[in-house]
């Protein structure tokens, strides 16, 4: 039994870290996905007309993941909600932010232009900054 428990602890330590931030932005025929794990591993993928590009790995430091959590807290990301008076443009896409920090758990879906309003703009700019540099 003791060996079994040690094996479970070892497997848990080797398991991939869970995503703490997932950002999915969709436009007509294009989807961009950024997934940030608690250990700082970032996966960036795009899908164009149903064809997914090769994931581009990025690495954040522990401090950067903590800064990201603080940004989401400061911008009150989990309080963001669709404005019923907002009228999307024809073919306007939506973006989804999902947070899974210990103290912040939510899923927010807004039209793309809604994300560019007020306090949510800084969230969009931060998530877009996760895009890999072209040619690297």
Write out the CATH class of domain 17-128.
Answer: alpha beta
Cβ proximity of 25 and 93 under 8 Å: yes
> In the chain, which stretches have pLDDT less than 50?
4-13, 135-136
Q: Which pLDDT score, from 0 to 100, does residue 104 have?
A: 96
Q: Which pLDDT score, from 0 to 100, does residue 51 have?
A: 87
| pLDDT > 90: percent of the chain | 62
Q: Which pLDDT score, from 0 to 100, does residue 133 have?
A: 61
Domain edges within the chain: 17-128
Report yes or no on whether pTM surpasses 0.85. no
Q: Which pLDDT score, from 0 to 100, does residue 36 have?
A: 95
Q: Report the C-alpha gap between 51 and 56 in whole angstroms.
A: 15
Q: Is 117 left (phi over 0), alpha (psi -120 to 50) or beta?
A: beta
Place of tokens 């994300």: 115
Q: Which pLDDT score, from 0 to 100, does residue 56 have?
A: 78
Q: Which pLDDT score, from 0 to 100, does residue 11 have?
A: 45
């Amino acid at each position: 039994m003791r060996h079994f428990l040690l094996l479970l602890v070892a497997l848990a330590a080797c398991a991939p870290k869970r995503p703490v931030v997932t950002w999915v932005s969709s436009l007509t025929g294009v989807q961009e996905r950024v997934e940030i794990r608690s250990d700082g591993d970032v996966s960036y993928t795009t899908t164009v007309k149903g064809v997914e590009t090769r994931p581009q790995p990025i690495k954040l430091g522990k401090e950067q993941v903590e800064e990201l959590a603080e940004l989401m807290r400061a911008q009150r990301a989990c309080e963001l909600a669709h404005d019923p008076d907002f009228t999307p443009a024809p073919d306007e896409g939506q973006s989804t932010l999902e947070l899974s920090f210990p103290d912040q758990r939510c899923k927010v879906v807004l039209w793309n232009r809604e994300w560019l309003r007020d306090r949510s703009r800084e969230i969009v700019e931060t998530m877009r900054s996760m895009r890999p540099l072209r040619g690297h």
